[in-house]
Amino acid sequence: MFSKLMMLYFFLTHTIAAVENLSFTYNGFKSANLSLDGIASFTPNGLLRITNDTRQQKGHAFYPNPVAFKNSTNGTAFSFSTTFVFGIRSVPTLSGHGIVFVLAPTRGLPGALASQFLGLFNPSNNGKATNHVVAVELDTIYSSEFGDINDNHVGIDINGLRSVKSAPAGYYTDNNGRFRNLTLVSRQPKQVWVEYDGEKKQMNVSLAPINAGKPRIPLLSLNQDLSQIVRKTMYVGFSSSSGSVLTSHYILGWSFKMNGKAQELVLSQLPKLPRIRSQKDRSIFLISVLPLISESIIVFAILGVFYLIKRKRKFAELVEDWEVDYGPQRYKYKDLYIATKGFRDEQLLGSGGFGRVYKGILPKSNSEIAVKRVSHESRQGMREFVAEIVSIGRFRHRNLVALLGYCRRKGELLLVYDYMPNGSLDKYLYDHQETILNWTQRFRIIKGVASGLLYLHEEWEQVVVHRDVKASNVLLDGEFNGRLGDFGLARLYDRGTDPQTTHIVGTLGYLAPEHMRTGKATTGTDVFAFGAFLLEVACGRRPIEPRRPSTEDMILVDRVFSCWKETDILEARDPNLGWEFIAEEVELVLKLGLMCSHSEPAARPTMRQVVQYLEGGVAADLPNLDLLGIRSSALAFAHREGFDDVLAMSCPSSVDKASLLYTSSSVAASLLSGAR
Ligand SMILES: *[C@@H]1O[C@H](CO)[C@@H](O)[C@H](O)[C@H]1NC(C)=O
Ligand SMILES: *[C@@H]1O[C@H](CO)[C@@H](O)[C@H](O)[C@H]1NC(C)=O
Ligand SMILES: *[C@@H]1O[C@H](CO)[C@@H](O)[C@H](O)[C@H]1NC(C)=O
Ligand SMILES: *[C@@H]1O[C@H](CO)[C@@H](O)[C@H](O)[C@H]1NC(C)=O
Ligand SMILES: *[C@@H]1O[C@H](CO)[C@@H](O)[C@H](O)[C@H]1NC(C)=O
Ligand SMILES: *[C@@H]1O[C@H](CO)[C@@H](O)[C@H](O)[C@H]1NC(C)=O
Ligand SMILES: *[C@@H]1O[C@H](CO)[C@@H](O)[C@H](O)[C@H]1NC(C)=O
């Protein structure tokens, strides 16, 4: 009897208390009658503060009356809709642990823990079906034990903290559907919508900045029948917990409705969040956050020292006493590093010719430069070399690429040049580019390079031997003027004096026979290389093309010679020139090329003579080639033996790694084809 009475009493209280189609709206909580526990409280201006700045605490705020959540006839969970505005205030970037909208069978959640348990569960009941709890968490701490995706996410929790569905905090914009991130702890109020459709058995959750309105596409959409989870009557409210960081979690307004759409909040009426950095905040800051910060400072200081050491190593340079005078020509490695974006591959202009060349823009002057990285282990000869490049750097000639300066690191030399927008000449001759240089351009380039080389040989205060004249070392400026680059670089590697161990640096096909024999570079060997250059520009071919079928075809100078001897020297010209050329000039260049290729250095013209012939522009001015003794056997590459005992390095990229000993032309040729 008593138990029956009790049941009746229970039934009555519940049917009376559980309001059907409950609906309420709080635009601020000034006159609200919510059931609070833990450290939850109302602020004087009507904010619901679920946690105040206290560590490891929880707070709850529930609508005081139970809500009928299921149709008692058929046991189906009703639809419901709610929206609320929340705000989280903590020290910058640190916060904990979050706010949860919760449906629970009891008012308050007894036994629940703070921190990562969000005031919802404890280790023994977390995840149990007997909880009958549905929650939407705004989680600001990453808890790996519950499979959190990050420290800033929204999740739907059913009976446990392992979310059945979660997403990084954010929203899809209405106009283009693009996802925008939101930071839960940003101190800006944000609005949340939670809607459950009892017929569709679907729950949607949306989040948006305040005043942005409800996004059309929800952040989370979960298809789940809540009928099995919720009880007939439930309590609705909020839970929150703090961890080790002082955080206040606020609700500014809340609207809820069963079996219908919650009434809109009047955002303008909502209370304001407390201003940041009040006197009180500062004292809290001093008491609780400062120790944290000072620990961080120590950690950062240690990291900083490591970073500085790493950075110092990264930008380390090699500077010796003798370099003091070269101050102005010396670049900081760091500047070059920044200019070339860390020597990134996209900045690479080319490689070969002793190293890789990068394009860069100097940060201070905004000027375009090309930086050549030359790897060089030996310090031997470096002093003389640097002295020479610095002195070279002082001269300015319109047909020489300006060497602006250098930088030295361990095992590496960096040379800084003017940037030449049109790249190197060889590209235009062989690589079948769309731009084919016409004869006028080619002739101007030839004359320019000749005058640059004359300057090096005779017009500078000391004689400078270039040592590596060839089309790929001729760069084209914005107006397609030829400029000779890379002067003197070969010298860095050319240290042979003993004929038995001669290292010759240069490029096969441009190396004079006496240079190969003695290892000595002279102005005469430069003239020889210039001869090969003349022929390659006029014929559009490399001096040696190993893949050609016959040897006569393989060696350019042989071919020009035989054209001259047997038919017409003009037949050797680049077929790409078409008929747009001045025959006199082409003939002059080809014949001059043969003259310069003479195996006897004394028979070659000097650069001054070369310039004079070129300025004259007519082949008739040249001495009679027959009288000069230009015969096939007098030309370097027709001279088999001369070619066979070549001791040469021709492979610039491996120049510092190995000295290559070529003993036959076929080996040389095969290596050449690989090297180019
Ligand atoms: C509650 O709302 C539902 C759906 O709108 C309606 O069918 C039902 O009659 C309402 N109940 C009461 C008591 O108003
Ligand atoms: C607030 O709600 C409680 C529990 O339902 C009730 O006892 C109390 O009288 C209410 N107070 C006001 C001011 O409505
Ligand atoms: C937080 O709330 C508790 C309980 O209301 C109170 O004792 C405590 O002083 C509050 N702390 C702060 C910092 O406001
Ligand atoms: C509960 O379900 C029954 C049977 O489907 C229905 O007749 C009744 O209107 C429902 N009650 C409410 C409040 O929706
Ligand atoms: C149960 O009641 C709900 C309304 O509360 C109704 O939408 C649903 O169709 C009913 N289900 C059955 C099986 O009658
Ligand atoms: C949003 O944040 C995530 C991680 O926090 C990041 O990976 C993503 O790029 C961000 N998206 C936008 C649009 O900012
Ligand atoms: C959830 O969102 C989708 C997409 O906007 C919508 O089609 C669906 O009706 C929504 N469901 C609920 C329960 O609001």
Tens digit of pLDDT for each residue in 392-431?
A: 666 678 898 888 888 888 778 888 888 988 888 988 888 7
Residue 380 confidence class, pLDDT cut points 50, 70, 90: low
Per-residue pLDDT reduced to its tens digit, 479-501: 889 999 876 665 665 544 333 44
User: What does the alpha-carbon distance between residue 519 and residue 490 come to, in Å, rounded to a whole number?
Assistant: 12
Residue 432: asked if its preceding bond is cis (omega within 30°), the reply is no
Name the residue at shortest CA distance from atom 3 of ligand 1.
259
- The pick from 13, 30, 31, 33 for probing ligand 2's pocket by mutation, whose C-beta has the most ligand atoms within 8 angstroms, reads 33
Region 279-287: what's the mean pLDDT?
Answer: 54
Region 639-664: what's the mean pLDDT?
Answer: 32
Tokens of 409: 């690191």
Tokens of 94: 């640190």
Residue 461 confidence class, pLDDT cut points 50, 70, 90: confident
Is the C-beta atom of 181 inside 6 A of ligand 6?
yes
Query: What is the predicted pLDDT for the residue at 302?
Result: 74
Region 176-204: what's the mean pLDDT?
Answer: 93
Beta bridge partners of 60: 37, 239
Query: What is the predicted pLDDT for the residue at 567?
Result: 85
Is the C-beta atom of 227 inside 6 A of ligand 5?
no
Query: Which one, of 97, 100, 119, lies nearest residue 110 by Cα?
Result: 119
Burial 248-264 (b: 16+ CB within 10 A, else e): bbbbbbbbbbbeeebee
**DSSP assignment letter at 424:** B
Residue 15 confidence class, pLDDT cut points 50, 70, 90: very low
Per-residue pLDDT reduced to its tens digit, 293-337: 677 777 777 777 777 777 777 777 777 666 666 666 778 888 899
Residue 40, pLDDT above cutoff 50: yes
Tokens of 347: 């900045």
DSSP for 17-70 reads HSBTT-EEEESSSTT---EEEET-EE-TTS-EEEE-S-TT-EEEEE-SS-EE-B
Beta bridge partners of 51: 249
- Long-range Cβ contact pairs of 204-209 (< 8 A, separation 24 or more): 205/136, 205/154, 205/156, 206/171, 207/138, 207/154, 207/169, 207/170, 207/171, 207/182, 208/171, 208/182, 209/171, 209/182
CB neighbours of residue 297 within 10 Å: 11
Q: How far is the CA of 112 from the centre of ligand 3 (A)?
A: 19
**94 and 295 Cβ atoms separated by less than 8 Å:** no
Query: What is the predicted pLDDT for the residue at 641?
Result: 37
Q: Is the alpha carbon torsion for 164, 167, 170, 175 positive or negative?
A: negative
Higher pLDDT, residue 656 or 60: 60
DSSP for 197-245 reads ETTTTEEEEEEEETTS---SS-SEEEE--GGGTS-SEEEEEEEEE--SS
Name the residue at shortest CA distance from atom 11 of ligand 6.
181
Region 585-600: what's the mean pLDDT?
Answer: 92
User: What does the alpha-carbon distance between residue 414 and residue 331 come to, in Å, rounded to a whole number?
Assistant: 9
User: What does the alpha-carbon distance between residue 416 and residue 419 come to, in Å, rounded to a whole number?
Assistant: 9
**399 and 482 Cβ atoms separated by less than 8 Å:** yes
CA angle 210–214–220, rounded 5-degree value: 110
- The pick from 21, 76, 202 for probing ligand 5's pocket by mutation, whose C-beta has the most ligand atoms within 8 angstroms, reads 76
Residue 543, pLDDT above cutoff 60: yes
Of all residues in the chain, the percent with pLDDT exceeding 90 is 41
> Which has the minimum average pLDDT: 8-12, 283-287, 427-431?
8-12
Region 141-168: what's the mean pLDDT?
Answer: 93
**529 and 506 Cβ atoms separated by less than 8 Å:** yes
Residue 310 annotated as part of some ligand binding site: no
Query: What is the predicted pLDDT for the residue at 668?
Result: 37
Region 499-506: what's the mean pLDDT?
Answer: 52
Region 93-100: what's the mean pLDDT?
Answer: 83
Region 509-525: what's the mean pLDDT?
Answer: 84
Name the residue at shortest CA distance from atom 9 of ligand 1.
21
**DSSP assignment letter at 456:** I
**133 and 105 Cβ atoms separated by less than 8 Å:** yes
Secondary element (H or E) of residue 292: helix 290-314
Residue 645 confidence class, pLDDT cut points 50, 70, 90: very low
pTM of this prediction exceeds 0.75: no
> Which has the minimum average pLDDT: 189-203, 332-346, 381-395, 416-430?
381-395
User: What does the alpha-carbon distance between residue 349 and residue 475 come to, in Å, rounded to a whole number?
Assistant: 12
User: Token pair 């409280």 is at which residue?
Assistant: 41
User: Token pair 């047997």 is at which residue?
Assistant: 566
Considering the chain, what is the average pLDDT of its residues?
81
Residue 663, pLDDT above cutoff 50: no
Query: Which one, of 111, 106, 157, 165, lies nearest residue 135 by Cα?
Result: 157
Residue 277, pLDDT above cutoff 70: no
Length of the chain: 676
Per-residue pLDDT reduced to its tens digit, 71-93: 988 999 999 999 999 999 876 66
Higher pLDDT, residue 659 or 35: 35
Domain extents in the chain: 18-267, 296-418, 426-671
Positions marked catalytic: 468
Region 570-580: what's the mean pLDDT?
Answer: 87
Query: What is the predicted pLDDT for the residue at 551?
Result: 67
Query: What is the predicted pLDDT for the residue at 498?
Result: 39
- The pick from 176, 181, 186 for probing ligand 6's pocket by mutation, whose C-beta has the most ligand atoms within 8 angstroms, reads 181
Is the C-beta atom of 33 inside 6 A of ligand 2?
yes
> Which has the minimum average pLDDT: 200-204, 394-398, 585-589, 614-618?
394-398
Residue 671, pLDDT above cutoff 60: no
Secondary element (H or E) of residue 394: helix 382-394
- Looking at domain 426-671, its CATH architecture is Orthogonal Bundle (1.10)
Is the C-beta atom of 64 inside 6 A of ligand 2?
yes
Residue 658, pLDDT above cutoff 50: no
Residue 503, pLDDT above cutoff 60: no
User: What does the alpha-carbon distance between residue 76 and residue 198 come to, in Å, rounded to a whole number?
Assistant: 7
**117 and 271 Cβ atoms separated by less than 8 Å:** no
Query: What is the predicted pLDDT for the residue at 675?
Result: 35
Among 3.30.200.20, 3.90.640.10, 1.20.1250.20, 3.40.50.2300, what is the CATH number of 296-418?
3.30.200.20
Among 3.40.50.300, 3.50.50.60, 2.60.120.200, 1.10.630.10, what is the CATH number of 18-267?
2.60.120.200
User: What does the alpha-carbon distance between residue 190 and residue 87 come to, in Å, rounded to a whole number?
Assistant: 7
Query: What is the predicted pLDDT for the residue at 355?
Result: 77
User: What does the alpha-carbon distance between residue 137 and residue 151 come to, in Å, rounded to a whole number?
Assistant: 12
Region 214-224: what's the mean pLDDT?
Answer: 96
Region 448-477: what's the mean pLDDT?
Answer: 88
User: What does the alpha-carbon distance between residue 614 and residue 594 come to, in Å, rounded to a whole number?
Assistant: 14
Query: Which one, of 523, 609, 521, 509, lies nearest residue 559 by Cα?
Result: 509
> Which has the minimum average pLDDT: 248-262, 365-379, 593-607, 651-665?
651-665
